[in-house]
Amino acid sequence: MEDLMITFLRKFTDYPFAVKLDGQEYHIGEGDPEFTVVFKKPIPKSKLLTSTSLALGEAYMDGDLEVEGDLYYALDHFLGQMGKFSTDESALKKLMHPSMSKHNQKKEVSSHYDIGNDFYKLWLDETMSYSCGYFKHPDDTLYQAQVNKVDYILQKLNLKEGMTLLDVGCGWGFLLIEAAKKYGVKGFGITLSTEQKEEFERRIKDEHLEDQLEVELMDYRDLPKCGRTFDRVVSVGMVEHVGRPNYQLFNDCVAQVLKDGGVFLLHFISALKEHTGDPWIRKYIFPGGTVPSLREMIYAMSEDNFHVMDVENLRLHYNKTLLCWAHNFREHLDEERKMFDERFLRMWDLYLNACAATFHNGIIDIHQILATKGINNDYPMVRWY
């Protein structure tokens, strides 16, 4: 009798693949297998039905599942079928619908971004940019792509000397540093990560930008009472952490601190339609993270009188960025093994490659929305960028 796990896997027929289990080999789909998965022990069908993502992800982390050959190649040919995954949300209620309190969201952000700057420095580029690069040319390095991305965003913001710029979720600060140096703006960054804040403060001193830049540990919900207003607001890769119930609140808070006629650029991972997210990613990578749909974010912005000027999809740029990160991560495994155990490293390798595959398959997108608060007739009619 065929193992129940094999029977479950037989619905993933878009690309043929082979499964090795207990000395036997099973072929799934028609044609020559594109990749081979080796199971050292079967996964109970009940686990696959509760969450296919968690069951397969944890098996890989534990070394009970191995992929013969290139991990990204296998994931790229498998994860396009995520619509066939099973997720029992009632059994995963706490994981899929966590508290949106400030305390809990700070804890969730810290769990990912406070792993340690030394770890991120191993596989990010010199800018320490942990978001999608912009590859203007096929042979751009990761560093060049991140410089391109920041330049592109700053051009879209139509900055002028002396303007004030708020970065919501400023990371390690590269965008604000570039804005201060190239455009002469005064920048204010907020983050919930202690490690990011400390690194950003060090960079401000190194660049002698103390008169132009500030960074604070602050929840976006506290912006309206900070007593400041800004000419421009940017947020790169942060809104995915606020949770679906708070998308409107996030935009409300931005609107309250942005001057009339001001420009807002929102750069975020997006989805075609609303969904609660992937259980494995939520449990191990981004607790509480939810990917907004493009349409619900534009709806929320409209409620705050944001007039959308441009929307751009950078999906394939993120695929390429993640492949660069995955390559760098593999190149530094010896150093990473001194920091973390094998289960963590397998988890992180899976995360980077799986995300690259989901962008390639259009499971998720990444959009930049450019909007003005109210009408701004001075914004260039022709997009010079």
The catalytic site residues sit at 355
Per-residue DSSP letter, 177: H
CA–CA gap between residue 233 and residue 240 (Å, rounded): 17
CA distance 227 to 224: 7
DSSP string, 270-281: EBSS-----HHI
C-beta of residue 149 within 8 angstroms of C-beta of residue 129: yes
CA dihedral 351, 356, 359, 365 (to 10 degrees): 70
Q: How many residues does the chain have?
A: 385
Residue 16, φ and ψ in degrees, nearest 5: -65, 140
Contact at 8 Å (CB) between 81 and 264?
no
For β-strands 164-168 and 186-191, DSSP reports them as: parallel
Integer-rounded Cα radius of gyration of the chain: 22
36-39 sheet: strands from edge to edge: 24-28, 17-21, 36-39, 65-68
The C-alpha atoms of residue 221 and residue 100 are separated, in whole angstroms, by: 11
Q: Are 236 and 157 in contact (CB under 8 A)?
A: no
Reading the block at residue 359, the tokens are 């962008």
Beta strands in 48-125 (DSSP E): 65-68
Question: What span, in angstroms and rounded, lies between the C-alpha atoms of 66 and 38?
Answer: 5
